[in-house]
């Protein structure tokens, strides 16, 4: 089959250009391939560049020298070459063998044909190669699909998704990131093969899913392909269509969640927190005699569920802990008064208070217009928060103007009592009834200590 060829005017990074030229100087073919070419053609700067070559791994090592080569994935033909001080993955053209378990080819074999290499790739838009002179080599009509913003498997979708079910999730991830439409047969097959996602390792699922939820178009993908996501997130199933019977809400639980997703900044922590913030609502529903729905205790129930989900998907501890906290706290009031700002800072720390503000803002923005005044309250809270940080107001032991030794100096013996006096002092500082200044703190400590004698 002949390939389509177009030209792009794009300056490759020096280390990539040198690497391609060096390989071709030794008589091998070498191209940038995959995501980087796709990104260049849609005007996005690639985050990393993968290089594919006709040279066998040992030939790559012979060209660049052992000192500059790391056999990072040699069994799959990948050598990491340090070019101009930058590590670049260079992979030999290859054909994947049969897939026995819808996730790993049981063997790979090398080939000298670029065409064969690109045919093993997942989507036509990821099957493009770019040479150092700017020629795009296109065996699968990827350029045309990219122009139409269409995601289509290379070859028969049934076969390609059976070989590796992760491609279903990768496809949805690309749609969520770039707003690609999914070609009809590819889309239908994603849904038909959805259950094979349970054959994948949770690590691979989470890696793709966490990128997917950060996509600009994640809400429409989550809506359109809902049943695919229920395969590894069965907990979301009751959310769809769950009416809230509450004047503050115009959406069911799922649509409210999707709306809120679009309002929150695109980080994994924030997006996951918003995705799960109301996941426990269906379980907590009670219809009052007045016909109004209530969901008492849902933040806690949702937090327990989020914790279980993120453990199951093996998300890293830091992400999980922050998400769980944000879900649990999403309904706590953030009153726009300094005392409340200091309390929340003492309770959660600055970073998490700022994240909580984002979650609450997104949540409230996805309520009915009746809740709009609460958004301006959050802005006022944020202004006070900035002020508290700027003035370095005290909200933790470490920023108190005295320490344990000062208290011992007053004759208070080290131990539980000393700890509780310190806690009381901090509380009074936070409440604004005590100045964070050494003399006042010592006087107050002495008074508390004497009172308790």
Rank residues 103 and 211 by Cβ distance to Mg ion and give the closer one: 211
Pairing of strands 150-151, 181-182: parallel
Residue 164 binding: pick among ligand ATP, Mg ion, none (C-beta 5-8 Å cut-off by kind) = ligand ATP
Residue with smaller CB distance to ligand ATP, 50 or 363: 50
Instruction: State in angstroms the smallest separation of the CB of 196 from ligand ATP.
Output: 13
> Using CB distances below 5 to 8 A depending on partner kind, what does residue 362 bind out of ligand ATP, Mg ion, none?
none
Quick one: 34 or 282, whose CB is closer to Mg ion? 34
Q: Quick one: which of 34, 142, 157, 280 contacts ligand ATP (CB under 6 A)? A: 34
Q: Round to whole Å and give the CA distance between 388 and 382.
A: 10
Q: Measured from the CB atom, is 38 or 152 closer to Mg ion?
A: 38
Structure tokens at 121: 């790739």
Among 19, 35, 259, 353, binds Mg ion (CB under 5 A): 35
In the complex, minimum distance from the CB of residue 78 to Mg ion, in angstroms, rounded to a whole number = 13
**Size of residue set near Mg ion by CB under 5 A:** 1
For the CB of residue 34, give the shortest distance to Mg ion in the complex, in Å. Answer: 6
Is position 126 an interface residue for ligand ATP (rule: CB under 6 A)?
yes
**Per CB under 6 A, which region of 106-114, 164-172, 323-331, 351-359 contacts ligand ATP?**
164-172
3-state SS string for 80-105: EEEECCEEEEEEECEEECCECCCCCE
Q: Which two tokens stand for residue 150?
A: 């269409």
Q: How far apart are CA 138 and CA 122, in angstroms?
A: 14
With beta carbons less than 8 A apart as the criterion, state whether 302 and 276 touch.
yes
**CA gap 140, 119 in Å, rounded:** 8
Q: How many residues bind ligand ATP (CB under 6 A)?
A: 10
Nearest residue to Mg ion by CB is 35
Among 29, 117, 122, 208, binds ligand ATP (CB under 6 A): 122
Contacts of 176 (CB under 8 A, 6+ apart): 211, 212, 213, 215, 216, 217, 218, 221, 222
Assigned token pair, 305: 């569920």
The strand pairing partners of 110, in sequence order, are: 94
157 lies in the site for Mg ion, by CB under 5 A: no
3-state secondary structure of 131: coil
Put residue 422 in one of left, alpha, beta given phi > 0 → left and psi -120 to 50 → alpha. Answer: alpha
DSSP 250: S
Identify what 282 binds: ligand ATP, Mg ion, none; CB under 5 to 8 Å per kind.
none
- 77 contacts which partner out of Mg ion, ligand ATP, none, CB within 5 to 8 A by kind? none
Write out the two tokens for 399.
Answer: 């920023």
Measure the CA–CA gap between 91 and 69, rounded to whole angstroms.
12
The label of the residue with tokens 């049981």 reads 106
Nearest distance in Å: CB 88, Mg ion: 12
Q: What are the tokens at 253?
A: 């639980």
Site string for ligand ATP, 169-188 (x = CB under 6 A): -x------------------
50 forms part of the interface with ligand ATP (CB under 6 A): yes
Pick the binder of ligand ATP from 94, 121, 328, 361 (CB under 6 A). 121
With binding defined as CB under 6 A, does residue 282 bind ligand ATP? Answer: no
Stretch that binds Mg ion, among 31-39, 98-106, 219-227, 270-278 (CB under 5 A): 31-39
Binding window for Mg ion (CB under 5 A); candidates: 1-9, 34-42, 61-69, 152-160: 34-42
Helix extents (H) in 234-348: 253-263, 268-276, 281-284, 298-312, 317-329, 338-348
Name the one range near ligand ATP by CB under 6 A: 165-173, 214-222, 387-395, 421-429.
165-173
Q: Which residue is nearest to ligand ATP (CB)?
A: 35
**Buried b or exposed e, range 312-338, using 16+ CB within 10 angstroms:** ebebeeebbebbbbbbbbbeeebebeb
By CB under 6 A, tell whether 197 contacts ligand ATP.
Answer: no
Question: DSSP readout, 357-398?
Answer: HHHHHHHHHTS-GGGHHHHHHHHHHHHHHHHHHHTT---SGG
Report the nearest approach of Mg ion to the CB of residue 38 (Å).
9
Residue of 136, 125, 130 lying closest to 177 (CA atoms) = 125
Question: 83 or 302, CB closer to ligand ATP?
Answer: 83
Nearer to Mg ion, 138 or 177 (CB): 177
Residue 93, Ramachandran bin (φ over 0: left; ψ between -120 and 50: alpha; else beta):
beta
Residues contributing to the site for ligand ATP (CB under 6 A): 34-35, 50, 121-122, 126, 164, 166-167, 170
Residues contributing to the site for Mg ion (CB under 5 A): 35
């Amino acid at each position: 089959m002949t390939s389509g060829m177009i030209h792009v005017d794009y300056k490759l990074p020096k280390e990539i250009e040198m690497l391609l030229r060096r390989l071709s100087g030794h008589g091998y073919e070498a191209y940038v391939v995959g995501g980087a070419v796709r990104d260049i053609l849609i005007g996005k700067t690639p985050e990393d560049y993968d290089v594919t070559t006709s040279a066998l791994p040992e030939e790559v090592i012979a060209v660049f020298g052992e000192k500059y080569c790391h056999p990072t994935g040699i069994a799959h033909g990948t050598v990491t070459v340090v070019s101009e001080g930058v590590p670049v993955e260079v992979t030999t053209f290859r054909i994947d063998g049969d897939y026995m378990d819808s996730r790993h080819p049981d063997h790979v074999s090398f080939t000298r044909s670029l065409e064969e290499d690109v045919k093993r790739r997942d989507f036509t838009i990821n099957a493009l190669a770019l040479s150092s002179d700017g020629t795009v080599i296109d065996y699968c009509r990827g350029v045309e699909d990219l122009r139409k913003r269409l995601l289509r498997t290379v070859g028969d979708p049934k076969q390609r998704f059976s070989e590796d079910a992760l491609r279903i999730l990768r496809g949805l991830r690309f749609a969520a990131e770039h707003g690609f439409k999914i070609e009809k047969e590819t889309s239908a097959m994603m849904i038909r093969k959805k259950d094979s996602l349970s054959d994948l390792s949770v690590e691979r699922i989470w890696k793709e899913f966490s990128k997917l939820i950060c996509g600009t178009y994640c809400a429409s993908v989550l809506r359109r392909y809902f049943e695919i996501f229920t395969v590894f997130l069965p907990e979301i199933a009751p959310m769809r269509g769950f009416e809230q019977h509450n004047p503050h809400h115009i959406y069911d639980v799922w649509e409210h969640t999707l709306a809120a997703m679009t309002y929150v900044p695109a980080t994994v922590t924030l997006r996951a927190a918003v995705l799960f913030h109301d996941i426990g609502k269906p379980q907590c529903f009670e219809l009052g005699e007045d016909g109004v729905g209530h969901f008492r205790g849902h933040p806690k129930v949702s937090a327990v569920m989020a914790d279980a989900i993120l453990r199951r998907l093996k998300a890293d501890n830091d992400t999980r802990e922050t998400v769980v906290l944000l879900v649990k706290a999403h309904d706590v009031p953030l009153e726009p008064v300094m005392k409340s700002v200091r309390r929340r800072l003492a309770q959660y720390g600055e970073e998490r208070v700022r994240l909580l503000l984002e979650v609450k803002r997104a949540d409230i923005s996805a309520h009915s217009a009746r809740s709009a005044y609460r958004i301006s309250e959050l802005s006022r809270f944020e202004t006070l928060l900035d002020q508290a940080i700027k003035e370095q107001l005290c909200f933790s032991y470490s920023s108190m103007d005295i320490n344990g030794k000062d208290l011992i100096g007053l004759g208070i013996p080290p131990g539980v009592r000393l700890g509780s006096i310190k806690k009381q002092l901090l509380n009074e500082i936070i409440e604004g009834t005590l100045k964070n200044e050494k003399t006042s703190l010592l006087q107050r400590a002495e008074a508390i200590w004497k009172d308790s004698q």
